[in-house]
Amino acid sequence: MERFAFIVHPIVAKDFARKFPFAENWSDSFVEGIIKYIPPFKVSHIAGIESGHAASEGWFVGCPLTSRQMVSMPEEVVIKKIIKAGKVAEKLGAKIVGLGAFTSVVGDAGLTIAQNLNIAVTTGNSYTVATAIEGAKKAAQLMGISLDKANVLVLGATGSIGAACAQLLARDVRYLTLAARSEDKLEILATQILRSTGLAVRVTANTKSALKAADIIIAVTSAVDSIIEPDDLKPGAIVCDVSRPRNVSQQVAQARNDVLVIEGGVVEVPGDVNFGLNFGFPPKTAYACMAETMILALEGRYENFTLGRDLTVKQIETIGQLANKHGFKLAGFRSFERAVSQQEVLNIKANAAAKLAIKQERLG
């Protein structure tokens, strides 16, 4: 039996009450004041993962700090607590541990954590990107957007994740725009893509202009604040927001019922899996970053896989191939922390068509 663990933490203080109902009426500040003194602990046992090639069990390990605490407390304190969570995983018998949510973001994205553990570590970002691109393509199909005709934009293309996304997308689309602050770096990437795929891509530092013309947007910038606002998007646009913190403003969800914002895919896990924890997903489904840890365990690849800020096309392709081998597959979309049904996507498509019809009528 292969064994793994995955570190989770409360995204907001209210999440703590989902595990411990006695804290339901506690204020957020009181919860955060208490949990920072609680050591990491086993949250649940994960059983029933079976791919046809191997079987696996695992554990969710809790690192009691909220997202706000992860980014506001001294970095060395946060990393030390994540390492302690990794030590809990070691004692449970895990041979690889995945870093969930902000535990994969703080510091150097897992490098220091891996150096202080005796088991393999991964952030899950490779499979997150693989499923994000797969999800964007599936969303385009549902929204009736042809990849041959769509204007596709990679926002933040000079970063490691953005560059990998651009090189993958260049194989499938005809009109690709790369946006970032440095046009010199964009030109270098464009030249690499032309040599490897034959596709001539457009580059620009004018983000707002590129957004208004795009049908499909992959957002992967490292901006601290949101940079995509409601007025930036055309009716029917699809935004796949891979960034953390998010690039898409929460106001887009409130003001635009004619655009589709997704976070990447929800993944169906093979076997009769029981996570022992309700994290708001349908049964037998998980985040792609969780799935990457499970896939590596099923494959017996107990090695540091996705760490640091660099991400390669080869890593994304490898984890995608291993996912297919073990029967993991895209199960649905998520948007602003909730699942999005296929019917909701079709409603967005109808809203976009209605808005475009009104616009055409006004133009005469």
Taking the C-alpha atoms of residue 322 and residue 111, their distance in angstroms, rounded to an integer, is 23
Q: What tens-digit pLDDT sequence spans the chain (364 residues)?
A: 899 999 999 888 888 887 788 888 899 899 999 999 999 999 999 999 999 999 999 999 999 999 889 989 999 999 999 999 999 999 999 999 999 988 988 888 899 999 999 999 999 989 988 998 999 999 999 999 999 999 999 999 998 788 989 999 999 999 999 999 999 999 999 999 999 999 999 999 999 999 999 999 999 887 767 899 999 999 999 999 987 667 899 999 999 999 999 986 689 999 999 999 887 788 899 989 999 999 999 999 999 999 987 788 899 999 999 999 999 999 888 888 788 888 999 999 999 999 988 888 887 6
H or E segment to which residue 28 belongs: helix 28-35
Q: What is each CA distance from 214 to 116, 153, 224, 257, 259, in whole angstroms?
A: 44, 6, 22, 17, 12
Domain ranges of the chain: 2-126+267-330, 127-266+333-362
Could you give the CA distance from residue 165 to residue 106 in angstroms, rounded to a whole number?
Answer: 22
Taking the model in full, what pTM does it have?
A: 0.86
Determine the pLDDT at residue 282.
83
What is the DSSP secondary-structure string of 70-127?
A: HHHS-HHHHHHHHHHHHHHHHHHT-SEEEE-GGGGTSTTTTHHHHHT-SSEEE--HHH
| pLDDT of the residue at 244 | 67
Q: What is the CATH number of domain 127-266+333-362?
A: 3.40.50.720
pLDDT of residue 353: 94
109: left (phi over 0), alpha (psi -120 to 50) or beta: left
- State the DSSP code for 226: -
